[in-house]
Every structure is written in C-alpha cells, then in structure tokens.
C-alpha cells in the first residue's frame, strides 16, 4: 500500500496545478479595473477598460485587458507631496507585438497613493483612494493619455 | 483513483465560480480601503451575452479596434525625407510647443556669481541638518529622484515647465559664456522646497550680492538669504542626500 502513494501524489499534483493556475488567473483578471483614455491629436478618443496597473522593479506598467499591450513608464522624477507620491514621467514606452516603441513626452504627471488610507489631494477637494493611481500624459504628437485605477500589483 | 476524482471535482467547484465571485465583490484581491472604485456592473459586459434590444448601442469610438493599445500617431515614425514636419493629411495636428518657453533675459550679467559649470577643487559639504546620517534618497522616502528633462531644474524646484512663462521669476544669474540663467520661484512641496526648509533658507530673487546661490539639476539656480547654517556663496546640490556643497 505504501508503495502506491508516490504515483497517487504525483497524479494529484498533476490534477491540482492546472486548476490552481486557472483559479489564480481568474481572480487576477477580475481585479484589473483600471481605465486608460487615449485622445489622439485628431480628436478621436478610445477608452480601454479593465487594464492592469502594476508597479514592478521601479517601473509602472499598464497592461491592456487582452494582455497584448503594455504601457511602461520606466523613468520618472518622484517626490512626495504629503502622503502622495508624485512623479514626473520622463520615459514612456509601448510594448506591443514583441516591439518596444518609445513615445516622446511633452509633460506628464503621476499621483500614487501607496498608503492604506484615503489621502487628500493638494489644492483639491478630492481624495485619492488607497493604492490608487492617477496619471496624465501629453505626448509630443499631441496625444493625451489619462489613466485611473488602483494598483493591482506592487513589487519593490 | 477515486480519491483523485473526488479531489479534482472539489477543486473544480472551488475554481470555477472564482471570477464571478470576485466581480460581485468588486475584485477580490483589492485592499479593504479601495471601495471608491466604480461598481463592476458599470462596466459594459460582452455584447453577445446580452439581449440586443434592451441595451443602448455603445459609443462607436470607445471600443478598441485592435489588440493592445492603439497609438498610431505616437508610434509611427515620420517619413525619412521630412522628419520634422507634421503630416499633411492630419488637419488636427498642432505643432508641439517649444520646450523652452522662458522669457528672454534682459538684465546685464552680474559678475558676482560664478558660472554654473565651475567645479571647485575642494568642495565643502554642508551637512543637511535634517537628513544627515540617513541613507541616500531617505529624504524622498527611499524613492530615487530623477530629473525630468521637460521641467525647469528637472522638476527639482517644482513643475515649472508647463507654465514657465507664468511662474514667478526670481532674478537672473550670469553664465560662463555671458549667457544668463533665469531663476524661478521654488514651488511648495518640491524637493527644492524641502532642501530650503532643511537648511532654514528663505528664497529671494537672484541679483543682489552676498546671497546663497544654489545650482540645482539642469542648470537651474535659486538664491536665498544666508543664515547661521549657510553663508553667502555658491553651492551645488546632491539630490540623493539633499546636501549642498560650496563651490
């Protein structure tokens, strides 16, 4: 009887692992609720819902719902305004279809609330919710990109 | 084998309702304080699963037409023969504003100040009374601060580039080759404001002699009244430690 245990354990593991992966993936998908709004210089507007917002390895990564594209801010000048982290992004890239394309910025501003409590915004009556992100970018080609949402993943 | 089947069935039961449960509760993995997000039902669901007559047609411009993100204007390179010209077929194109919108310098150079590219052989570091002894970037809660090229002083003194023309001008400094550097008012809550506060310095317009002249990132400069910590002279800034060194 004891000799039969290892194959059984292996079979159980084989059965569990894919299902566990499905479970984790499903929960992660349900958590991505950020919104990206892109207004091109010709006035056309597109909105991307359910984007994922991840802060990983000193980069801010905004992943599209279909996981085909990622907007990456990998360089920014950051300082704190009260409890809110304010960053002036300097490098912005679109990673899509296996290519990384740099998008030239005119200016931009990122606010992050990394605390666990709502924070009052400076010179505003608005509060930022815990782990919330607000981002506005203006590209050299005249595109306005605004991103709102909550951070889905935070890694140092 | 029976135990495997029953275990697999149990895991399946647990796994399948997870997305539905997570959506009902506004995204399962969220922190407790994040309740101000819009309710999940506000987001449009897949059109195929909804009866067509009872739902209004979605706005035509809000649906992504291609996978990922669509940023054609920003990701397509201009033609090689006309790299700097805007496309003719785009009536909505507006040329970007020039990066430097600073007003022209009108005052004569003041020979009192040394040029910003001057480097002393023996700089004297004046320790920051507030952050001395702490690791680098401690003043910014451990987050490395990088200068942003689009902003005056890299944003060290505040976000002035967007409205540089409307920002308060705090005097002028003569450069090494006769050109002048405009000094702007330090914005509250900026790293530069923290620097001034740490050294108990009060900014004043550049120009008069016997001032504390601090050169920051991106050839930026501000001036302040000397005090018991910082005597009159020319200083540079180490942003990692928020420390000034005399020239």
With an 8 Å Cβ cutoff, is A79 touching chain B?
A: yes
Pairwise CB contact (< 8 Å): A88 & B141: no
Local structure of A26: helix, strand or coil = helix
Q: Find residue B126's DSSP bridge partners.
A: B244
Domain-by-domain residue ranges, chain A? 13-154
Angle at A126 between CA A31 and CA A33, to 5 degrees: 15
Pairwise CB contact (< 8 Å): B34 & A78: no
Query: How many CB atoms lie under 10 A from the CB of residue B7?
Result: 15
Pairwise CB contact (< 8 Å): A58 & B144: yes
With an 8 Å Cβ cutoff, is B48 touching chain A?
A: no
Residue of A nearest to B37 (CA): A149
Phi, psi of A93 (to 5 degrees): -135, 150
Most confident of A3-12, A129-138, B103-112, B175-184: A129-138
Determine whether B16 is exposed, middle or buried from the number of CB atoms within 10 Å of its CB (0-12, 13-18, 19+).
middle
Per-residue model confidence as pLDDT tens for chain B (247 residues): 555 565 555 544 444 444 333 333 333 333 333 333 343 444 444 444 444 444 555 444 555 557 889 888 888 766 554 443 333 344 444 444 444 444 443 333 343 444 455 555 677 889 999 988 889 999 998 888 888 877 888 889 987 654 445 556 777 766 666 667 778 889 888 999 999 999 999 999 888 889 999 999 888 889 999 999 999 999 999 999 999 998 7
B63 neighbourhood in chain A, CB within 8 Å = 46
A11-20, A92-101, B153-162: segment of lowest average pLDDT? A11-20
Structure token digits, residue A106: 């005119």
Pairwise CB contact (< 8 Å): B149 & A30: no
User: How far apart are the C-alpha atoms of A69 and A5, rounded to whole Å?
Assistant: 45
Per DSSP, A125 falls in state S
User: How far apart are the C-alpha atoms of A46 and B70, rounded to whole Å?
Assistant: 8
Place of tokens 């909105």: A47
pLDDT for A43 equals 93
Nearest C-alpha neighbor of B186 from the set B236, B229, B221: B221
On whether the CB atoms of residues B118 and B175 are closer than 8 A, the answer is no
pLDDT for B188 equals 84
A26 pLDDT exceeds 70? no
Nearest C-alpha neighbor of A86 from the set B220, B199, B156, B35: B156
| Residues recorded for chain A | 156
On whether the CB atoms of residues A61 and A71 are closer than 8 A, the answer is yes
User: How far apart are the C-alpha atoms of A106 and A95, rounded to whole Å?
Assistant: 20
The ipTM is 0.72
Pairwise CB contact (< 8 Å): B44 & A49: yes
Pairwise CB contact (< 8 Å): B61 & A15: no
On whether the CB atoms of residues A48 and A65 are closer than 8 A, the answer is yes
Q: What is the CATH number of domain A13-154?
A: 2.50.20
Which residue out of B2, B69, B91, B152 would a mutagenesis test of the A interface target, given it has the greatest number of A Cβ atoms within 10 Å? B69
User: How far apart are the C-alpha atoms of B159 and B38, rounded to whole Å?
Assistant: 31
List Cα–Cα distances, B124 to A120, B13, B203, in angstroms: 40, 70, 21
Burial B174-211 (b: 16+ CB within 10 A, else e): bbeeeebbbbbebbebbbbbbbbebbebebbebbeeeb
Pairwise CB contact (< 8 Å): B29 & A117: no
Choice between A31 and A109, residue whose per-residue pLDDT is larger: A109
Phi, psi of B104 (to 5 degrees): -65, 145
| pTM of structure | 0.59
Pairwise CB contact (< 8 Å): B150 & A107: yes
Count CB pairs under 8 A between chains A and B: 210
Pairwise CB contact (< 8 Å): A47 & B62: yes
B28 neighbourhood in chain A, CB within 8 Å = 27, 30-31
Residue-by-residue DSSP string for B70-135: --HHHHSPPPTTSTTSPPTT-TT--PPPPS--PPPP-SPP-TTSPPTT---SS-EEE--TTTTTSP
With an 8 Å Cβ cutoff, is A59 touching chain B?
A: no
A14 pLDDT exceeds 80? no
From the list B27, B31, B72, the residue facing A33 with the nearest CB is B27
Three-class secondary structure assignment of B43-60: CCCCHHHCCCCCCCCCCC
Pairwise CB contact (< 8 Å): A142 & B61: no
Determine whether A101 is exposed, middle or buried from the number of CB atoms within 10 Å of its CB (0-12, 13-18, 19+).
middle
Pairwise CB contact (< 8 Å): B11 & A8: no
A28 neighbourhood in chain B, CB within 8 Å = 29
Per DSSP, B65 falls in state S
What distance in Å separates residue B87's CA from the closest CA in chain A? 10
Per DSSP, B19 falls in state H
In chain B, residues 201-230 whose CB comes closer than 8 Å to chain A:
none
Phi, psi of B176 (to 5 degrees): -70, -35
Choice between A31 and B136, residue whose per-residue pLDDT is larger: B136
Local structure of B20: helix, strand or coil = helix
User: How far apart are the C-alpha atoms of B232 and B199, rounded to whole Å?
Assistant: 13
Pairwise CB contact (< 8 Å): B7 & A20: no
With an 8 Å Cβ cutoff, is B40 touching chain A?
A: yes
With an 8 Å Cβ cutoff, is B35 touching chain A?
A: yes
pLDDT for B218 equals 82
Pairwise CB contact (< 8 Å): A46 & B145: no
With an 8 Å Cβ cutoff, is A114 touching chain B?
A: no
């Amino acid at each position: 009887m004891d000799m039969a245990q290892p194959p059984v354990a292996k079979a159980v593991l084989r059965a569990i692992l894919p299902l566990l992966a499905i479970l984790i993936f499903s929960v992660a998908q349900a958590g991505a609720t950020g919104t990206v709004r892109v207004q091109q210089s010709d006035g056309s507007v597109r909105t991307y819902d359910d984007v994922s917002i991840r802060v990983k390895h000193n980069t801010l990564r905004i992943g599209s719902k279909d996981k085909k594209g990622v907007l990456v801010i990998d360089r920014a000048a950051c300082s704190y305004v009260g409890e809110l982290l304010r960053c002036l992004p300097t490098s912005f890239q679109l990673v899509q279809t296996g290519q990384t394309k740099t998008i030239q910025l005119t200016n931009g501003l990122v606010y992050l609330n990394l605390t666990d409590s709502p924070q009052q915004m400076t010179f505003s009556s608005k509060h930022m919710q815990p782990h919330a992100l607000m981002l506005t970018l203006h590209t050299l080609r005249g595109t306005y990109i605004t991103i709102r949402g909550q951070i889905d993943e935070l890694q140092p | 084998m029976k135990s495997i089947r029953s275990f697999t069935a149990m895991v399946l039961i647990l796994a399948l309702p997870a997305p539905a449960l997570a959506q009902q509760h506004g995204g399962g993995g969220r922190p407790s304080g994040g309740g101000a997000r819009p309710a999940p039902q506000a987001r449009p669901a897949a059109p195929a699963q909804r009866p067509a007559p009872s739902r209004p047609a979605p706005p035509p411009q809000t649906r992504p037409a291609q996978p990922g993100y669509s940023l054609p204007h920003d990701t397509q390179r201009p033609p090689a023969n006309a790299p700097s010209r805007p496309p003719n077929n785009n009536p909505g194109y507006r040329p970007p504003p020039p990066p430097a919108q600073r007003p022209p310098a009108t005052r004569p150079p003041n020979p009192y100040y040394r040029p910003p590219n001057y480097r002393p052989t023996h700089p004297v570091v004046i320790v920051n009374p507030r952050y001395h002894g702490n690791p680098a970037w401690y003043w910014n809660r451990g987050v490395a601060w990088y200068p942003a090229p689009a902003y005056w002083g890299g944003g060290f003194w505040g976000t002035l580039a967007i409205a540089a023309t409307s920002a308060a001008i705090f005097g002028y400094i003569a450069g090494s080759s006769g050109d002048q550097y405009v000094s702007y008012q330090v914005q509250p809550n900026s790293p530069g404001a923290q620097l001034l506060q740490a050294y108990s310095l009060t900014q004043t317009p550049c120009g008069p002699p016997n001032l504390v002249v601090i050169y920051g990132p991106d050839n930026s400069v501000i001036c302040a009244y000397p005090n018991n910590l910082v005597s009159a002279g020319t200083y540079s800034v180490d942003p990692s430690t928020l420390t000034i060194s005399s020239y």
